[in-house]
Amino acid sequence: MAKAKVRIVFCEGCKWALRSGWYAQELFSTFHGKLAAIELVVGESGQFQVWANDQCLWDRKEQGGFPEIAELKRLLRDCIAPDASLGHCDLEAGAE
């Protein structure tokens, strides 16, 4: 199976570049070997979206705000490697 490509689209004017970079770092470290690339893209005013291949995993305007990192990892896992374990992130989901 081809490795996934993740795209994080963020509003530069809102100063979300640092947050986007942190999400990218977390995703790369969690999905080591499963990602071909993570692209950071400057978007429109107020925009924050996370895409895996052609599927939108998170849209700040639709979901309201930003995802917790554990939630974003679960969304990406479910999209690219549904059988993979996320360890403590899966345990956090069970405690909800």
Structural domains for the chain? 4-94 (3.40.30.10)
- 50 beta partners: 8, 58
Question: What residue ranges of the chain have pLDDT lower than 70?
Answer: 1, 87-96
CA distance to 13, 95, per residue, from 57 (Å): 22, 22
- 41 beta partners: 9
pLDDT in the model for residue 78: 93
pLDDT in the model for residue 90: 57
pLDDT in the model for residue 96: 43
- 88 beta partners: none
pLDDT in the model for residue 95: 44
Which amino acid does the sequence have at 52?
Answer: A
Distance CA 83, CA 96 (A): 21
